[in-house]
Amino acid sequence: MFIANAYAQAAPAAAAGGAESTLLSLLPLVLMFVVLYFIMIRPQMKRQKEHRAMIDALAKGDEVVVAGGIVGRISRLGDTIVHVEVSEGVEMQVQRPSVVQVLPKGTYK
């Protein structure tokens, strides 16, 4: 009178292509990972490789920019430390990875 009776229904029959539907449901996830790799991961790895090559190629007399934006000339090199002359008689010690850019010769005077 107030509420109609509700009857349970039988479970639907399993689809014949069960493995195929699983692969199709994973396809968007795989596609997103591939796009993420080519848009974000691969360019970042390329930049890291270029930075590592630049740091390995540092030499005495190179004009560089340090991470803080300080410009100077390399006066001495160590395994992990670079001595950067920022002014006559003023020398800073910085870690090699903090060198951001090597400037063309003659930029720093």
**pLDDT by residue (tens digit) across 28-75?**
999 999 999 999 999 999 999 999 999 999 999 999 999 999 999 999
CATH number, residue 55: 2.30.30
Enclosing domain of residue 67: 21-103
| Domains identified in the chain, total number | 1
**Of all residues in the chain, what percent carry a pLDDT higher than 70?**
93
Q: Which ranges of 1-109 would DSSP assign to H, the alpha helix?
A: 18-36, 42-56
Average pLDDT over residues 85-94: 94
Answer whether residue 7 is part of any domain: no
pLDDT tens for 46-55 read 999 999 999 9
65 inside domain: yes
The enclosing H or E element of 6 equals: none
Both tokens of residue 16?
């014949």
Q: Does residue 2 lie within any of the structural domains?
A: no
Instruction: Note whether residue 55 is domain-resident.
Output: yes
Overall pTM > 0.75: no
**Would residue 13 count as lying in a domain?**
no
Residue 108 lies in a domain: no
Please give the backbone phi and psi of residue 104, each rounded to the nearest 5 degrees, phi first. -65, 150
- pLDDT computed for residue 13 by the predictor: 62
